[in-house]
Amino acid sequence: MELYQKTAAELSAMLKNKEVSSVELTKAAFARTAAVEEKVGAYITLTEEKALADAAAIDAKRAAGEELPLLAGVPVSVKDNICTKGIRTTCASKMLENFNPPYDATVMDKLHAAGLVMTGKTNLDEFAMGSSCENSALQKTRNPHNPDHVTGGSSGGAAASVAAGEVSIAVGSDTGGSIRQPASFCGVVGLKPTYGTVSRYGLIAFASSLDQIGPFGRCVEDAAMLADVLRGYDKMDSTSYPREYDSLTAGLNADIKGMKIGLPKEYFGEGISEEVSKSVLAAAETYRQLGAEVVEISLPLSKYALPIYYILSSAEASSNLARFDGVKYGYRAEQFDGIIDLYVKSRSEGFGPEVQRRIMLGTYVLSSGYYDAYYKKARAAQRAIRADYAKAFEQVDVILTPVAPTTAYKVGEKTSDPLQMYMGDICTVSVNIAGLPAMVQPCGFDSNKLPIGMQLIGPRFGEQKLVNAGLAFEKASGLSNIVAL
Amino acid sequence: MKYEPVIGLEVHAELSTKTKIFCGCSTAFGAEINTHVCPVCTGQPGALPVLNKQVVHYAAKMGVATHCTVNRLCKSDRKNYFYPDLPKAYQISQFDVPICENGYVDFEVDGEPKRVRFERIHFEEDAGKLLHDEGDGTVVDFNRCGVPLIEMVTRPDIHSAAEAKEFLETVKTTLSYLQICDCRMEEGSIRCDVNVSVRPMGSDKLGTRVEMKNINSFSAAERAITYEVNRQIDVLEEGGQIIQETRRWDDSRGKNMVMRSKEDAQDYRYFPDPDLVAVEIDDAWMEQIESEIPELPQSRYARYIKDIGLQPKEARILSDSFDKACLLDDGVAMNRVDAKAIANWILSDISKYLNDKGLELKDTRLTAAKLVDMIELIEKNTISGNAGKKVLVQLFETDDSVDAIVEKLGLKQVSDEGAIRKLVDEVLAANPKSVADYKGGKKNAIGFLVGQCMKASKGKGNPKMINQLLSKTLEQM
């Protein structure tokens, strides 16, 4: 077994036992990347030199007998919408193609403190807006399981880097499914934590009230270990919860006897492919056999989640992305006549079509005369959806659903029809609207040998239940550590 | 036709917090360009604001002092517009729920009581500054970006330029009493926009409103309002109509010009800022805020007239300055010397010293206790009034006690009867002509003789005793 085929949990143990050094691991990661990156295209920027230096520093600490955190010395990729000081952070946009942040995101400080070694910055849909990674203005990323298919998005590069064996773990972000859907398409584990548990300071905002950074891994334990590193209160982020978190890794327990798992009937109806439905229902059967109680539940407001999501996320995006005006940083049009022209040209040339579409949509729903009909109503509906979930969690511990209507579709298949693309988010957006945690992991393959994922949704701060339920299924199904290519 | 002006003001005051409203950068004025900046206040991608609770505290203080309702849950909203001095392309402000609502201030205009109501007070961040003279192109200085402001919006209760000016003075005095604003006009710590309309006298319908911007001082506000009221009356008198628009005041030319019409009015697309959770003012915090409100100028003004017997003008000077009023009140509270004497010292020598030096009371070392010590020595005839002036200068500039200063400068009056008698006898002997004049009926010759005695005592002789002894001796001669 090659190093690149090992999970982060396995690498962590090897490092601890000094069976391998961080420098060796890091070199192996870049060797694997060199071998597959042409087919995968996960990265926008590789930071090999810095990674090797960081790895050597960790090795030196270990050699000196220092007690190191679990993931110290393990290579990790980071989505390119997370600010890295002095390392360009592009959001896969022409707008920020040459932007070097003057500061590190809080999660970068946390990764650094935990001794992880960043390999580079991964591709995404421009400003995290998209579900296939095809909206990247800088890089094409392909599904490692089949390069004719998309990775999903927006964290497509992160998911692909893990699935292709370039790294075992990755940091992504999820606004409406951006961790979970690509995890599903690429056959890896992805966790979207409870809103407010991971600091957003330094995450270039798409929709502030929905964005949440989270981990990818090749197995549930990987995701749990990285989540433990990422979580924690940050005084720099007013939306982060001032509380302590117990280690998910330490709390891992595959015994789920008596756990109540809800199957919301609204998630298995029209629009969801039969192959996906079947596979997720089979997972439910596995849970039954493991001693869990599986019950049908209802989330009647699910059908409103998609419009609510596109109103709220676009509204916030229209304001969040206004700062990219060509004045201070980022792209500036070469020719302009006066300040208004500078704005119009810089933004028209710097942003891609999907970003522009969402800015226009968001500007519209916040406009005087439309605010009440759209934004305000969507906020009210958001509260109703939260109540919907709260009621469901009075009955069950976790909720099991599909992640997306289909498995990874072909490159170019949906790019001409934005609405069709938006429909693909139907299973994931309500989780962000409600601020809940949710985890995705592989539960099977379709007839084209493309991975099918399942989604476990938990109550607020219910991450431990998610990883435990996930671990139980992973052990029973053997669907873990799937490396493509 | 006679017209009545109807005026409402929007006053912006910079709060004197040490750090900015959403980051830890300094708010100090006058630093080198772009040195008080960080990722947050320059709107770097990914940077997030965290509300400075001192801003909430200060804004709520102003609300309590102006009889507002304070909304305990403080939410922030985004006001979206593009301008190069606004790095996020939105200003974080408060929209539908301002921290304070429905208050008022009372003051006097030409001796008549006046009340102006506040519609709202909210907090927000200041923008940066565009500098057009820094060589090639325009430079943006972000030092001011994120300095906290409160915006105070009045009801249209003001009906003349003079009322507007008095209102602004009252707001300024209140801010300085609360110690929440430096009130340095030249640094722009208080700015205002003016809304003006006119209507036929007696009408209760409001006329079309014109907003005026770029008003940089209270006297400019007075001039701008006078100009705009006259302009509107002229338009109406000539049969024209007032157009709802925003006009820019040019103080150097004494006129205003159209900035933008109603059609150009921007849609700010306000919405709650998702980066900021609401901050709650709990009961304990509210009590703390309320406990910090000092007795306000209006009340002190009335008390100084009634209790100390000052003239309204004198009471106004003292109550307008928090420092001076506190000095007076602290001194009076010691109950050792005549209250009016303290007031007089503050109104005369202390004010003159501060004016001459361009200082504020808090920049000096004078304390109420020492001022009272000094006045007490005068009342006890230990030192003369003139010596008191010399002591005062030392009290401003040193930490020495009054006794030590008197000792050091040798200012103790000679009140020993034997010594004074000797002095008087010598002066009388040396000035036979004046004595003859006095005896001959020129009673004011005694003034010269007193002066000679003072001179002979090097200013230390007790003038009252000298006067008495001289008169007595001359009568007996």
Q: How far apart are the first and last CA of chain B?
A: 80
Average pLDDT of the residues of chain A: 97
Q: Are residues B188 and B69 in the same domain?
A: yes
Q: What is the number of other CB atoms lying within 10 angstroms of the CB of residue A158?
A: 40
Query: Confidence band (pLDDT; 50, 70, 90) for B17?
Result: very high
pLDDT of residue B458: 80
Indicate if the pLDDT at residue B134 is higher than 80. no
pLDDT of residue A405: 96
Q: Per the residue annotation, which of A131, A155, A178, A240 is the catalytic one?
A: A178
End-of-domain residue from the set B409, B427, B462? B409
* B75 in reach of chain A (CB within 8 A): no
Question: If you average pLDDT over residues A32-49, what whole number do you get?
Answer: 98
Indicate if the pLDDT at residue A91 is higher than 80. yes
Q: What is the CA radius of gyration of chain B?
A: 30
Angle (CA) B39-B43-B47 rounded to 5° is 55
pLDDT of residue B460: 81
pLDDT of residue B442: 86
Q: Are residues B217 and B331 in the same domain?
A: no
Q: Which of A185, A234, A186 is nearest to A213 (CA)?
A: A234
Q: What is the number of other CB atoms lying within 10 angstroms of the CB of residue B319?
A: 25
**A380: enclosing H helix or E strand:** helix A377-395
Q: How far apart are CA A430 and CA A192, in angstroms?
A: 12
Q: Which residue of B has its CA nearest to A84?
A: B46
Distance from CA of B53 to the nearest CA of A (A): 12
Residues A150, A108: contact at Cβ < 8 Å? no
Residues A423, A429: contact at Cβ < 8 Å? no
Nearest CB partner across the interface for A323, out of B48, B89, B274: B89
Tokens of A357: 């579409």
Active site (annotated) includes residue A345: no
**A312: enclosing H helix or E strand:** helix A305-320
Tokens of A76: 């990790």
Question: If you average pLDDT over residues B225-242, what whole number do you get?
Answer: 96
Least confident of A468-477, B25-34, B69-78, B183-192: B183-192
Rounded percentage of chain B residues whose pLDDT exceeds 90: 77
Please state whether beta strands B77-80 and B139-141 pair in parallel, antiparallel, or not at all (unpaired).
unpaired
Tokens of B34: 């772009």
pLDDT of residue B309: 96
CB pairs under 8 A between A and B: 100
Contacts of residue B468, defined as CB under 8 A and 6 or more positions apart, other chains included, come to none
Question: If you average pLDDT over residues B5-21, what whole number do you get?
Answer: 97
Q: What torsion do the CA atoms of B455, B458, B464, B468 make, to the nearest 10 degrees?
A: -60
pLDDT digits 0-9 by tens, B353-398: 999 999 999 899 999 999 999 999 999 888 988 889 999 999 999 9
Indicate if the pLDDT at residue B238 is higher than 90. yes
pLDDT of residue A383: 97
Q: How far apart are CA A96 and CA A449, in angstroms?
A: 37
Domain residue spans of chain A: 1-485
Question: If you average pLDDT over residues A105-119, what whole number do you get?
Answer: 98
Active site (annotated) includes residue A79: yes
pLDDT digits 0-9 by tens, A237-290: 999 999 999 999 999 999 999 999 999 999 998 889 999 999 999 999 999 999
Q: How far apart are the first and last CA of chain A?
A: 14
Which of the 8 DSSP states describes residue B362? G
pLDDT of residue B476: 83
Q: How far apart are CA B44 and CA A202, in angstroms?
A: 9
Average pLDDT of the residues of chain B: 94
Nearest CB partner across the interface for A239, out of B267, B270, B277: B277
pLDDT digits 0-9 by tens, A52-77: 999 999 999 999 999 999 999 999 99
Report whether the peptide linkage leading into residue A184 is cis, meaning its omega lies within 30 degrees of zero.
Answer: no
**A282: enclosing H helix or E strand:** helix A274-289
Identify the CATH number of the domain defined by range A1-485.
3.90.1300.10
Nearest CB partner across the interface for B48, out of A201, A324, A367: A201
pLDDT digits 0-9 by tens, B268-306: 999 999 999 999 999 999 999 999 999 999 999 999 999
Q: Are residues B270 and B310 in the same domain?
A: no
Query: Confidence band (pLDDT; 50, 70, 90) for A226?
Result: very high
Q: How far apart are CA A432 and CA B274, in angstroms?
A: 14
Query: Confidence band (pLDDT; 50, 70, 90) for B440?
Result: confident
pLDDT digits 0-9 by tens, A126-176: 999 999 999 999 999 999 999 999 999 999 999 999 999 999 999 999 999
Residues A153, A171: contact at Cβ < 8 Å? no
Residues A442, A182: contact at Cβ < 8 Å? no
The backbone torsions φ and ψ at residue A63, rounded to the nearest 5 degrees and listed phi first, read -60, -30
Q: Which residue of A has its CA nearest to B81?
A: A322
Q: Are residues B107 and B244 in the same domain?
A: yes
Indicate if the pLDDT at residue A392 is higher than 80. yes
Question: If you average pLDDT over residues A467-476, what whole number do you get?
Answer: 98
Contacts of residue B296, defined as CB under 8 A and 6 or more positions apart, other chains included, come to B65, B174, B177
Residues A355, A321: contact at Cβ < 8 Å? yes
Tokens of A244: 């302590």
Q: Are residues B437 and B362 in the same domain?
A: no
3-state secondary structure of B44: coil
Indicate if the pLDDT at residue B228 is higher than 90. yes
pLDDT digits 0-9 by tens, B311-357: 999 999 999 999 999 999 999 999 999 999 999 999 999 999 999 99
pLDDT of residue B467: 86
Task: State the DSSP string of B67-80.
Answer: TPEEPSEE--EEEE
pLDDT of residue B327: 97
Residues B271, A206: contact at Cβ < 8 Å? no
Distance from CA of B77 to the nearest CA of A (A): 11
Query: Confidence band (pLDDT; 50, 70, 90) for B1?
Result: confident
Residues A184, A143: contact at Cβ < 8 Å? no
Which of the 8 DSSP states describes residue A133? S
Q: Which of B133, B144, B180 is nearest to B31 (CA)?
A: B144
End-of-domain residue from the set B409, B425, B446? B409
Contacts of residue A362, defined as CB under 8 A and 6 or more positions apart, other chains included, come to A313, A314, A315, A316, A317, A318, A319
Indicate if the pLDDT at residue B136 is higher than 80. no
Q: Which of A155, A105, A143, A117 is nearest to A26 (CA)?
A: A117
Distance from CA of B317 to the nearest CA of A (A): 45
Number of separate domains in chain B: 3
Domain that holds residue B378: 295-409
3-state secondary structure of A293: strand
Q: Are residues B313 and B427 in the same domain?
A: no
Q: Are residues B284 and B337 in the same domain?
A: no
Question: If you average pLDDT over residues A348-355, what whole number do you get?
Answer: 98
- The domain spanning residue B453 has which CATH number? 1.10.10.410
Cα B292 vs. chain centroid, distance in angstroms? 18
Q: Are residues B165 and B96 in the same domain?
A: yes
pLDDT digits 0-9 by tens, A164-176: 999 999 999 999 9
Q: Which residue of B has its CA nearest to A344?
A: B82
Indicate if the pLDDT at residue B260 is higher than 90. no
Nearest CB partner across the interface for B39, out of A96, A103, A327: A103
Q: Are residues B22 and B56 in the same domain?
A: yes
Least confident of B140-149, B233-242, B424-433: B424-433
Residues of B whose CB is below 8 A from A328: 42-43, 87, 140
Q: Per the residue annotation, which of A79, A94, A345, A414 is the catalytic one?
A: A79
pLDDT of residue B457: 83
Indicate if the pLDDT at residue B462 is higher than 90. no
Residue to test with chain A: of B74, B130, B271, most A Cβ within 10 A: B271
pLDDT of residue B229: 97
What pTM was estimated for this model as a whole? 0.92
Q: How far apart are CA B101 and CA B339, in angstroms?
A: 39
Residues of B whose CB is below 8 A from A343: 82
β partners of residue A401: A455
Active site (annotated) includes residue A265: no
Handedness of CA B455, B461, B463, B465 (dihedral sign): negative
